[in-house]
Amino acid sequence: MQTDYLDLYQFHDPDPLTPIGASWEAMQELIQAGKVRYGGLSNHTVPLMQQAMGLAPITSNQHQYSLLQRSIEREILPFSQQHHIGVLAWSPLASGFLTDDFALESLDPQDFRRSHTYAQEPAWGKLQAMRGQLRAIAQDHGQTLVNLAIAWVLRQPDLTGAIMGIRSEQDARTMAGGRTGSSIPRRFRPSTRRSQTGPERLAPAHPWTG
């Protein structure tokens, strides 16, 4: 990597065999040694974050967040905002289920998405209908479904950024269109306020299972 230190080092997941205190102490040793500038967590709950904060500040926490998965709006985002912890979203395109050309029948037989909750009925049928509605909204504003999904995530005011899997130059160009989402309607943005109509009903503030 041709570097003497890492700008940000995040634990990938909570370690069920190691207390968070021990892990976070090890992180602080790396920081004090100059090998890491900032330490972060990934998929850690509020109680685990509180334990870690008892030893040293947390710079960031990485969690799954998309139009189909909004559970972090309950506790993680409010807690992180209150304590000035950055939040990075992983899988903002829901493992590809929110891409324009996603086709379940075209997936490799061993592809994990074939057994995903979203791919099982009745969720799959409802997701297909939802995808159609989202594509229509995007097309009305000269955008793609990918751009809409990314712009929606990035408009979450408590979110620091989003991590997207890019496999080609074309992927990078496609996803770049969602950075600003300037032509996406303002009403279509994350909201913790519950409603019975509009986009919030399509994207409930909990794991979407249909």
The model carries a pTM of: 0.79
How are beta strands 86-90 and 6-10 bridged, if at all? unpaired
Residue with tokens 């850690």: 44
Angle between helices 169-176 and 145-154 (to 10 degrees): 60
> Rounded to whole angstroms, how far apart are CA atoms 21 and 50?
10
pLDDT of residue 206: 40
Give the whole-angstrom CA distance, residue 102 versus residue 122. 18
Backbone torsions φ then ψ of 90, nearest 5 degrees: -110, 150
User: Token pair for residue 158?
Assistant: 């408590």
Q: Are 54 and 190 in contact (CB under 8 A)?
A: no
CATH architecture of 59-202: Alpha-Beta Barrel (3.20)
Spatial CB neighbours of 82, under 8 Å, sequence gap ≥ 6: none
pLDDT for res 76: 96
Q: Which tens digits make up the pLDDT trace of 5-34? A: 999 999 989 999 999 999 999 999 999 999
